[in-house]
Amino acid sequence: MINRLIAQVLPYMPEKLIWQFSKRYIAGETIDSGIEVSRKLNDDGIDVTIDLLGEFITNLEQAEAYKNSYLEIIERFTSEKIRGNFSLKPSMFGLLIDTEVCYMHIRQIVQKAQECNSFVRIDMEDSQCVDEEIKLFKRLKKEFSGHIGLVVQAYLRRTMNDLTHLNHEMSNGHPLNFRLCKGIYVEPKEIAYKEYQSVRDHYLEDLDYMFRHKIAVGIATHDKYLVDKAIELINKYQVPKEMYEFQMLHGVTPELRQSIVDQGHRMRVYVPFGKEWFGYSTRRLKENPKIASHIINALFCKG
């Protein structure tokens, strides 16, 4: 209740105040800020995935501009020798306006990543985007096999079915590569598991399936329970290091992150940056009011 109230009020607060909590999670507004944060993480033995902020555009000129920004980002991060890859949200390229235009933009970005020997991950957005994002992934995977990956959300009831289909249809050639997360959007109970433990249980079922079917997986979570269970599964199936990595968001649970690195597992941090940080932060809040308590801690509690 209090979280919901805070989430509603925060968007009307001054940007400077919102920045006080956002700066923990967002590298900054510019490519240089993204490079600086990424370099520090690289120095600590952590890889990154770079995300330019922006989503759900309303006209296709924005899509063209975002495409050009991504091409520049890939160029810069490659020439600066940052150890990392790239994440993007298809709604930023017009997925909900014109799927073909969106595909052509993302295709160019993945082609650039391939030229730079890198990799692009399609983030999974809310449920209205899931079918189209899977289609997009399938098309790109055929052309850019080892350079494209997708995110799947454990809270969606459909996910195990999607995994099974994708595995049967696309397992020839380079292994499939998915990021597994709980899912951040507020979805109706008809399509999504709502209970906290139930989402965890399905997360582990999905992970177990991926390990058994030799799908490369980014284990994206800050939930220690899931981290411990994932490590149990890694040991049980003797999963080779190149077939999994842990992934966390920049600024979240750094102690848990370090303990995973100390145990010798690969870690990748999601580093968002860009001018759209204000809209991004406040939208995330509306979608997931539970984050509000983290914000209050960040604003008012030292350390």
Residues that bind ligand FDA (CB under 6 A): 123-124, 151, 153, 179, 181-185, 220-223, 247-249, 252-253, 270, 291, 294
We find the least distance from the C-beta atom of residue 253 to ligand FDA, in angstroms, to be 5
CB nearer to ligand FDA: give 69 or 253.
253
CB nearer to ligand FDA: give 75 or 265.
265
We find the least distance from the C-beta atom of residue 75 to ligand FDA, in angstroms, to be 23
3-state SS assignment for residue 44: coil
Backbone angles phi, psi at 162, to 5 degrees: -60, -45
Tokens at 177, concatenated = 């590569």
Count the residues in the chain: 303
CB nearer to ligand FDA: give 140 or 291.
291
What amino acid occupies position 279? G
We find the least distance from the C-beta atom of residue 168 to ligand FDA, in angstroms, to be 23
We find the least distance from the C-beta atom of residue 272 to ligand FDA, in angstroms, to be 10
Distance CA 121, CA 216 (A): 13
Sign of the alpha-carbon dihedral angle for 64, 65, 70, 76 = positive
Short-list 67, 62, 57, 66, CA closest to 97: 57
CB nearer to ligand FDA: give 115 or 131.
131
Distance CA 227, CA 242 (A): 17
Distance CA 225, CA 296 (A): 24
Alpha helices in the chain (DSSP H): 2-9, 15-22, 31-43, 60-79, 99-115, 130-143, 159-170, 196-212, 224-237, 254-262, 277-287, 291-300
CB nearer to ligand FDA: give 147 or 179.
179
CB nearer to ligand FDA: give 11 or 75.
11
We find the least distance from the C-beta atom of residue 123 to ligand FDA, in angstroms, to be 3
- 246 and 254 in contact (C-beta within 8 Å)? no
CB nearer to ligand FDA: give 94 or 251.
251
Give strand pairing partners of 156. 192
We find the least distance from the C-beta atom of residue 172 to ligand FDA, in angstroms, to be 25
We find the least distance from the C-beta atom of residue 184 to ligand FDA, in angstroms, to be 4
Short-list 60, 54, 59, 4, CA closest to 26: 54
